[in-house]
Amino acid sequence: MSRFHAQKKDYDDPLRRLRSEFHIPKRSDMDTCIEIDMIQRSHESVIYLAGSAIGLQPKLITTRTTAFLNQWARRGIAAGHTAEPENNCPSWLEAEQVAADSMAPIVGALNSEVTLMGTLTANLHFLLASFYLPKKAEQGRTRILIEEGAFASDRYAIQSQIEWHGLDPTSELISIPCNEDGLLSTAAVCDTIELFAHNAALLILSGVQFHTGQLLEIPHITRYARERGIVVGWDLAHAVGNVELKLHEWDVDFAVWCSYKYLNAGPGATAGIFVHDRHGKDKNRRRLAGWWGVPIPQRFEMTQSFAPNVGAAGFKVSSPSILDITAVTAALQLLNGPGMAKITEKSRNLTGYLESLLDDIAIQITGNPRVREEHVPWTVITPRDPAQRGAMLSLRWREGDRMEQVARHLRDRGVIVDIRKPDIMRITPAPLYNTFEDVWMFAQKLEKATIAIGNRDSTS
């Protein structure tokens, strides 16, 4: 496939103008960018394919946060109660709900089911404190089911919650087995649910797996577990802003996510939680409480009894950074403009194009008599079915050292990918700011780097 073919795809892309809403890093600003080659000769911008780690900065964040800082500078505490709609500045007390209302359609939730607070692992702790109650559990439900390859911080949080209740994680934390590529089959999940249906309290899985990029069957798994009396929570760090979600319709009990990957709100940005309406209306549900969890009209009355807000807002504990909330709200505007259906449609086309180019590279490498390769040095472990993945493709390299050399070679030439030791390279074309030409240029450079490093190794 030619460069012209990629450029034609970009010309026909209805979302192409969104790229101009982002700051794209420049080659001149990259410490190790040493070479301007013919492939990228007319492009000062780097080819940034690491959005699954940190998304790029929307220009609107600067505009909105500057407006907030000016509002604060000019009005002090008065800005807490009075909006400035002409500057797109809600009052500070309203800012969180504005952000939650913007987040709700992205995750497929009622506005009342979503709030922004804290960070992902802290929020997981808050929700586990409410939903994991083994001492009150009926029929001895004390176990928690997670995937074998769960993100380490999720595992740490869950282990510590089990220990907090005086139980032993070695017996109470059950890992659902993955295959050799780290993929988790729905059958394996359902088999494990069936096996522990009598004593499992919670099932907590990743919507999109951080290592492999696999999208799990969230609605089917949720329904299967809930029919067996198991509460279901999801870590959606790699799913929110990446794939279409319908958390309310799917009857998910709770979910947590961050805002700095596909939502592009910045490193450490305020995270989000989802609590289904049936739980949010239960004011008697146990929780860790704080004054920010009561309705705004009663918040400053400082009563001695805690009466939580209805919905996810009732799980908040303290005042957030309005500067951070402003950044998140600005970032969400860029997703809500086109909507998740159009974003995921482009994402499937963009990642499918990447997949086809990687297939072409494999043919070129193994079919080239000048290349000392019997096999391609990497395997794409992300499912080939577009319905089972998001934007990211993960390459598992046979040799981790070679992967690192190739990644360094790419970085020196203005291409940014994300590697996870020992052997995973994550390539993420983000539909809001990446182009088909980005993907085409990346493929050319990956082929050259793979061959160059391979030949260098074979002659050393």
Task: Tokens for 87, please give them.
Answer: 């500057």
DSSP state of 407: H
- Please check if 120 is assigned to a binding site: yes
The answer to whether residues 432 and 7 touch, using CB atoms and an 8 Å cutoff, is no
Task: Tokens for 47, please give them.
Answer: 């080819």
- Please check if 184 is assigned to a binding site: no
The answer to whether residues 426 and 394 touch, using CB atoms and an 8 Å cutoff, is yes
- In 3D space, the residue among 319, 314, 321 whose CA is nearest the CA of residue 289 turns out to be 314
- Please check if 291 is assigned to a binding site: yes
- Please check if 220 is assigned to a binding site: no
Could you give the angle at which helices 3-11 and 436-459 cross, rounded to 10 degrees? Answer: 150
Quickly count: other Cβ atoms within 10 Å of residue 82's Cβ: 14
How far, in Å, CA of 445 to CA of 140, rounded?
A: 56
How far, in Å, CA of 287 to CA of 284, rounded?
A: 9
* Main-chain phi, psi angles of 432, to 5 degrees: -75, -30
Task: Tokens for 385, please give them.
Answer: 């079915």
Place of tokens 């590697």: 419
DSSP β-bridge partners for residue 254: 233, 275
- Please check if 198 is assigned to a binding site: no
The b-or-e profile of 338-365 (16+ CB within 10 A means b, else e) is bebeebbbbbbbbbebbbebbeebbeeb
Task: Tokens for 169, please give them.
Answer: 């994680």
- Please check if 260 is assigned to a binding site: yes
- In 3D space, the residue among 65, 70, 24, 69 whose CA is nearest the CA of residue 48 turns out to be 24
How far, in Å, CA of 439 to CA of 100, rounded?
A: 33
The answer to whether residues 100 and 114 touch, using CB atoms and an 8 Å cutoff, is yes
Residue 427 Ramachandran class (φ > 0 left, ψ -120 to 50 alpha, else beta): beta
- Please check if 121 is assigned to a binding site: yes
Residue set of the binding site: 120-121, 206, 235, 238, 260, 291
Residue set of the binding site for pyridoxal 5'-phosphate: 120-121, 206, 235, 238, 260, 291
